[in-house]
Structures are given as structure tokens and as C-alpha cells.
Structure 1
């Protein structure tokens, strides 16, 4: 038998409001993130100037990219939103990590990228897809539930192409490229774990509140809105560029 700790209604409301404010803050920052989601100009200049193996700087850049990548974080949040067991969470996060690691490394190594506007629009769609999945939309609309693990892996591949496309644009020196790419990818995974840890701390407190079910619906609607916002900016950028 599972016992769920109940917090007073006031604390439950406070936790829920805190999470919704967090979502609103992310959406407020979204306009800048949508147009300049990649590496900052200073970091970009550093990447383009160096030669040889630089493990620590690329670890840092990979972690920084993931922690400040609101689209990646929102998708990751959507993936674990209703996952309670650590084995389940580890399985889904691992699938996402495998997906984006494979396409990021292969994409840069073989210089195969996708237009940044298009791939970022697709990443925005992945947030929409997961939010709708969390809302049970596919069962209501189509009468079936897509395989969530396969979807997570596929979107991991697409997120990886987003990373690869941005790295290719920076024209990294081939000297030490493989080691630097691996370091960058390890940094991305470190950043993902840091983001996941922060998400789980908030989610674990929020889930035990009586208001979670009602506020979870609003949170996923906000996630979906953020995904549409990113898609809109990227599609507009594609036609304006």
C-alpha cells in the first residue's frame, strides 16, 4: 500500500503557484531564447579561435547549453511530468540522452545539419507533442496512445540534430574535434542531470499537494503554449532570414 503525504491546502496552493510562476518566467524569456538559443557570442568566438583538445571548456559549454536551453528543459519536464518511479525516469531520460548524443556526434562529424530555424521549430513541436500527450489528447482524439518511449527516442534524435546544426555553424577546428565533441556531449549530459535534479525537487513537493491534478492541467497548457511560441518565432525567422 502506498501512502501519500498530504500537505495543508495553503501550502499546496503555494507550491502550485510557484511552479506556474516558473513556467510563466520561462515563457517570458522565450523570445530571447527562441532567437538566440545557442551559444553566446563570447563562447562562439572562443570556439572558433581555439585549436586542439580542450576538455574542460567544452564540458562547460555543453552543460551551459543544456541548462540554458529552455526548449530542451521543457521537453524533459514534459517527459517526466507524470513519471514517479526512478527506474521509469531513468529509462526515459536515457532514451532521450542516447537519441541526442547519437545525432549530435554523427551530425557534426559528418557535417550533416538541418536548418536551425526548421530544427528549432521541430523541437518546439516536441514540447507541444509531449504536453498534449500528458493531457491525454491522443486517446481522446484518436482512441490510441502512441508509444511514449519510441517518441522520446525520436525526439531525442531531433534535439541532437539541433545541437549538431548549431555546432556546425561555429566551424570548430578539426584539430581535436572528436575529443572536444565528446567532452561537449558529456557536458550536455551533466547539464541535463542538473536540470533534472532541480525539476524533480520541485515536482516531488508539488505532486503531494491536493491541488496538483488541477494545476498540472494548467502547467501542461502553458508548456504547449510555450511550444507554439517557439514554433512561431522559428517559422517567422525562417521566412524573414
Structure 2
């Protein structure tokens, strides 16, 4: 009976690992690029021109027009409307422009803008990028205007439910408003003449969920790297050394890249991030003891991951008067996301099986091998495909 129980325990451990890591591998290998199908927030840049509000809305029109609920969908390939999305994705700009104009007629009224009274948004033009690589998302721009009533000096915008994340950015005023909102949320009152810049405390709090969201659920490559650190050893001390080195490094380059002090092409960074996943996973298989070089190498890989994080903030933008608090908030969100990944892995695997004498052979090595395969595929894909 004891032998049966032990055997069953081993099988259960392996099933847990492959549920956690294998599912991620299938998700990663299912697309031609690991991040090509992730949804990014819509960006609305607005300014006051004479007696009008002018907006330029940068959006993934194909995702909107196919009927995806962008509050819940993370990856276009996993959505029920994936086929409709791909059909729209390959349309030529003129054809997609017609779709965009028809879509805007019914969608713009759901974007509720008030400035002393409800405003009527009208479509003034559509700009569509070329098809390009059909595996990569393209941007469509809706040029929108609305007439302001006399004496209006403040506005609010309610972002419709199902529209996903919104980055709202004000231009051509002092202390412009910059904010991130989710579907169904309403902005605070925004001064049309400026002065709506977030306070340091508001910026810090607002950017925490942005950083967290970049890890869970959107940062699959970062998740696999953290899992590679986790499966090196079931003991706490090696994990703390590795995560500390990784955190310090990506904090440095995140700040430097976001402030414009360092610029490295994504064509270089993304393959190297994939290579970092392969390295930590393969080393898990062949190395048992935490040597000095591993935290040093992980520190170097953390510098790369920080550059990857910075590319996210490039889309969101940072409030000019609260750059440092916003950066800190984003970094806190990233750390909370990473710790959540570790906590989930520990709860599913480490807590139950970490002290078992066969943990390394039955759990850590198979999991690391799976991670290495995914990372290697991504490296080849990002360099050659």
C-alpha cells in the first residue's frame, strides 16, 4: 500500500507540473510569435482646439470589430472570434477603413464624454496601417471631434465596458492629464486648460496594476523565466538570491530605458529574453548547487527583461510631473506579479512535493525541460521566422 501511495504521489506531482508549465508551453507554441497576439490598450490622445475637442484614437480595430470582449480576452488566438479577427486582419487598408467607419457609427456613442453636457462624438477620418505581417497586430486611428458648449472647462470620459484598457493622454496644455482606465470606468474631472496632472501618489497607485498586468496574465515569457528560477531548487535561500538579482537588474534598465538613457531594439532584446529562458531552464537540469555565477548571469538577464518592460511603458506614456512615482508603481506591480507566479507554483507543486527525495528528478527536471523547449522555440521564431 505504501509503494502504491508513493507511486500515486509521483504521478500527481508530474501532472501538477505539466498542468502548470505544459499548458503554458502549448499556449506559447500555438502561435507563430509568443507576444504577437496579445492585446494592448487603446490610446486616446486629445486636445482642445478652439471650441472643439479633437481626439485621435489608436486601437486594434480588428479586435473591436470582431466583437471581442477586451475586458476578458488577453490573446486574440484564444478568443472565440479568432477567425473573424484574422479575416479582418488581412484586409487591405481601404477595405478595413470602410469597416472602421461603419463600426464607429455604432461604437462612438458608447464612449460617453461630458463637458457641462453630454457631447456627441463624430468621426472625421480613419487611418489604417498596411497589412504587413499578418501575424502582428496593426493600428487603426479614428480621428474624432466634438463641439464644446460655451463656458465648458472640464470634462469626463466613461470608457465602455468590454473595451479593455484605455490610455488617455492630454496634449497642448500645462500639466496635462495622463491616466489608465479599464472598461466601464469613468475618468475624474479633467481640466480642459490643463492642471490635471496626477499627483505622485496617484501616479504610483495608477501604475501598479499596469505592471502587474504585464506579468499576469500577459507576460508569458517573464512567467516562464520566473518559473525557471523557481524550479532550480525547492529551498528558499537560492530562490531569494536569484529573484533579488533579477529584480535589481530589471529595475535599473527599466528606469534607464524609460527615461531615454538607453535604447535597444526589440529585435535584439526579444530573442535574448528567449535565450535567457533556455539558459536558466537547462542549467536547472545539469546544476544542483547555487554557484556565484548563476545570480550574476541572472542579473545580466534581468537587464534584458527590464528593457522588455520598458517597451510596455513606451505605449502607456508617463506623467511628466510624476515620472519616478509612476516608474516605482509599475515596478511594484511587476514584482507583485512575479511573487504571485512563485506563490502559485509553490502552492501547486513546492508545498506538496518540494521536500520529496524524488522532487528534482520527477518534477523540477521535467518542468525545466519543458520551459527550455518553449524558450528555444521562441528564440528560433524571433530570430529566423
TM-score normalised by L of structure 2: 0.53
Give the conservation status (yes or no) of the 8 Å contact 2:318–2:326: no
Q: Match for 2:262 among 91, 112, 137?
A: 112
Distance 1:125 1:177 in 2: 31
Q: Match for 2:379 among 225, 231, 236?
A: 231
Show the counterpart of 1:64: 213
Show the counterpart of 2:237: 87
Distance 2:336 2:237 in 1: 19
Show the counterpart of 1:23: 21
Show the counterpart of 2:353: 206
Displacement of 1:47 in angstroms is: 5.8
Show the counterpart of 2:36: 35
Cα gap change, 1:56 to 1:173, in 2 (>3 Å): closer
Show the counterpart of 2:225: 75
Distance 1:46 1:125 in 2: 32
Show the counterpart of 1:166: 312
Cα-Cα RMSD: 2.7
Cα gap change, 1:166 to 1:104, in 2 (>3 Å): same
Displacement of 1:147 in angstroms is: 0.9
Show the counterpart of 2:300: 154
Give the conservation status (yes or no) of the 8 Å contact 1:119–1:162: yes
Distance 1:17 1:159 in 2: 30
Moved more, 94-103 or 216-225: 216-225
Displacement of 1:115 in angstroms is: 2.0
1:19-63: per-residue Cα shift (whole Å, max 9, x none)?
Answer: 113222102222364324585446764165652333322111111
Show the counterpart of 2:167: 46
1:189-235: per-residue Cα shift (whole Å, max 9, x none)?
Answer: 11111111112222322334565314433222211111012223322
Higher helix proportion (structure 1 or 2)? 1
Moved more, 30-39 or 163-172: 30-39
SS in 1 for 2:267: helix
Cα gap change, 1:106 to 1:234, in 2 (>3 Å): same
Higher strand proportion (structure 1 or 2)? 2
1:157-208: per-residue Cα shift (whole Å, max 9, x none)?
Answer: 1110111133224444424222211111111111111111112222322334
Show the counterpart of 2:342: 196
Distance 2:273 2:313 in 1: 16
Give the conservation status (yes or no) of the 8 Å contact 2:281–2:371: yes
Q: Match for 2:248 among 81, 85, 98?
A: 98
Distance 2:252 2:224 in 1: 21
Higher relative contact order (CA 8 A, sep 6+): 1
Q: Match for 1:124 among 267, 271, 274?
A: 274
Cα gap change, 1:210 to 1:83, in 2 (>3 Å): closer
Distance 1:159 1:179 in 2: 20
Distance 2:168 2:241 in 1: 33
Cα gap change, 1:92 to 1:38, in 2 (>3 Å): farther
TM-score normalised by L of structure 1: 0.81
SS in 2 for 1:113: coil
Show the counterpart of 1:219: 367
1:49-95: per-residue Cα shift (whole Å, max 9, x none)?
Answer: 65233332211111111222111121111122132332332221111
